[in-house]
């Protein structure tokens, strides 16, 4: 018993990289460790066990991951760290390489063994964990407590030619509606979560593997019956965005007027090479349909630049598409040739300098779209969830339902009295600050 207490009293720190789906994996591993008696710390300086939850999506993410592992490994020499554990997508994709190339790592844990993290830590100390099995839905929330990500499925069946996710995470696997509703209720009860952000590699495919057809709208309707106030949808593949889903977003008081649709490009030639099953014409029709149902729905998308064979004409078509202003928020990423994907050896490649210049031009186009849209909001009053203080600007900041955390714009605002983080306030927009909005609280009673 003394040995057991010595192990479980140790401090565990985790660095989680990559997407919010990976974040949910990290939060569940932290919960299992906490329930087994380990102490969770935010500082690597006082962590006796450090876990790096890795990303392996593209080359830049892999470089960041390796650098982070090496940075954390230094704490074994210069700090009190006793064990270094590597988990996540890089561990799944390059387990044997990591074991041979980074001997500082005491354990390299593939994705399928995440649920055994407690047993793995005990084994590193020569012990066997004999504690009771805990609820796998439990989380240690790493976001602000008023919002959380709900991973409704793992894996992917879309097989885009540039993407390694199906090889890393496997086939598409949905969680059942009942378990997701229960997890949501726990997030509300344990943390006071008010905003739920649904994530998967493709949320629109939710339920096909379990129920024989997409059940996303059914899931959202069930989640709406809980005490959650905002439900946000991320990563909706365009060919699966149904009229029923659009109507739900447009009309439901609990569903944010927001949808993330990763379009990747606007050129049919490039889309075909990517194995995307949606044409430029289909895209325009879909986006106009969404806006016609409710013009307040913000559409976010991501675009992959420099795919092999992308011509100047392809690029110009994408730039003109963005100028039309149907996309409210956009992210741009350079193509990364990932081994094991169909696009790995595709030719001709596009020079890095050309790719960087194209991304710069597209970002400038999108900036003008955002500023134009923002100017239309001056004088309007919007509902904002308050998230913090920008001390340089000497202003509060938060988000509307048209803004997802971390990736979209924010609203800066003033108030005559202290505010409560995670509460909603009515803010009258007074000015545009580049990508962002500025305003003042018009009703200081929290909601």
Cα–Cα distance for residue pair 290/402, rounded to 1 Å: 14
Mean pLDDT of the chain: 94
C-alpha 169/C-alpha 92 separation (Å) is 8
Cα separations (Å) of 48 from 84, 99, 397? 9, 20, 36
Q: How far apart are CA 182 and CA 188, in angstroms?
A: 10
Question: Which of 110, 163, 95 lies closest to 307, judged by CA?
Answer: 163
Residue 1's pLDDT band, with cuts at 50, 70 and 90, is very low
Domains with residue ranges and CATH for the chain:
2-124 (3.40.50.12160), 147-373 (3.80.30.20), 381-443 (2.40.50.140)
Tokens of 145: 């407590």
Of 175, 200, 191, 258, residue with least CA distance to 228:
191
pLDDT at position 36 over 70: yes
State yes or no: pLDDT of 414 exceeds 80. Answer: yes
Question: Cβ contacts of residue 132 below 8 Å, gap of 6+?
Answer: none
For 53, 72, 80, 93, the CA distances from 62, given in Å and listed in that order, are: 12, 15, 26, 11
Q: What is the pLDDT of residue 445?
A: 66
Write out pLDDT tens, residues 341-352.
Answer: 999 999 999 999
Q: Hey, which bits of 200-269 come out as E strands?
A: 230-233, 255-260
Indicate the pairing of strand 329-334 with strand 298-305.
parallel
Please give the pLDDT value at position 130: 83
126: left (phi over 0), alpha (psi -120 to 50) or beta: left
Nearest alpha carbon to residue 74 among 97, 42, 98, 52: 52
Predicted confidence at residue 395, as pLDDT, reads: 96
pTM value?
A: 0.95
What percent of the chain clears pLDDT 70, i.e. is strictly above it?
A: 98
Q: In this structure, how many other beta carbons lie within 10 angstroms of the beta carbon of residue 346? A: 16
Task: Give residue 71's pLDDT.
Answer: 95
């Amino acid at each position: 018993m003394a040995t057991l207490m010595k192990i479980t009293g140790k401090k565990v720190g985790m660095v989680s990289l990559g997407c919010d789906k990976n974040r949910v994996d990290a939060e569940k591993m932290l919960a299992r460790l906490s329930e087994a008696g380990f102490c969770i710390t935010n500082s690597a300086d006082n962590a006796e066990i450090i876990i790096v939850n890795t990303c392996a999506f593209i080359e830049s993410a892999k470089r960041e991951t390796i650098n982070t592992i090496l940075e954390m490994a230094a704490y074994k020499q210069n700090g009190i760290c006793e064990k270094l554990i590597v988990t996540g997508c890089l561990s799944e994709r390059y387990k044997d390489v990591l074991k041979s190339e980074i001997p500082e790592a005491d354990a390299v844990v593939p994705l399928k063994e995440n649920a055994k993290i407690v047993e793995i830590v005990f084994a590193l100390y020569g012990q066997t964990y004999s504690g009771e099995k805990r609820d796998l839905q439990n989380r240690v929330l790493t976001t602000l407590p008023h919002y959380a990500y709900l991973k409704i499925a793992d894996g992917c069946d879309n097989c885009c030619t540039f993407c390694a996710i199906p090889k890393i995470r496997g086939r598409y696997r949905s969680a059942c509606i009942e378990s997701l509703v229960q997890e949501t209720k726990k997030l509300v009860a344990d943390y006071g979560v008010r905003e739920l952000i649904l994530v998967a590699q493709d949320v629109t495919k939710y339920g096909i593997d379990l129920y024989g057809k997409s059940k996303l709208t059914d899931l959202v309707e069930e989640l709406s019956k809980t005490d959650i106030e905002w439900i946000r949808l991320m990563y909706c593949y365009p060919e699966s965005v149904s009229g029923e889903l659009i109507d739900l977003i447009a009309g439901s008081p609990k569903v944010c007027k927001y949808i993330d649709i990763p379009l990747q490009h606007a050129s049919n030639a490039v889309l075909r090479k990517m194995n995307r099953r949606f044409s430029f014409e289909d895209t325009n029709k879909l986006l106009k349909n969404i806006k016609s149902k409710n013009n307040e729905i913000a559409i976010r998308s991501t675009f992959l630049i420099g795919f092999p064979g992308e011509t100047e004409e392809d690029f110009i078509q994408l730039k003109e598409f963005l100028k039309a202003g149907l996309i409210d928020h956009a992210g741009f990423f350079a193509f990364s040739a990932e081994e094991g994907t169909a696009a790995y050896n595709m030719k001709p490649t596009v020079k890095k300098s050309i790719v960087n210049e194209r991304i710069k031009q597209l970002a400038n186009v999108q900036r003008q779209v955002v500023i134009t849209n923002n100017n239309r909001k001056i004088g309007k009053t919007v509902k904002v969830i308050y998230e913090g203080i920008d001390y340089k600007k000497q202003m509060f900041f938060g988000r509307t339902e048209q803004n997802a955390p971390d990736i979209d714009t924010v609203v800066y605002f003033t108030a005559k009295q202290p505010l409560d983080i995670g509460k909603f306030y009515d803010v009258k927009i007074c000015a545009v600050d580049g990508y962002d909005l500025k305003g003042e609280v018009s009703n200081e009673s929290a909601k």
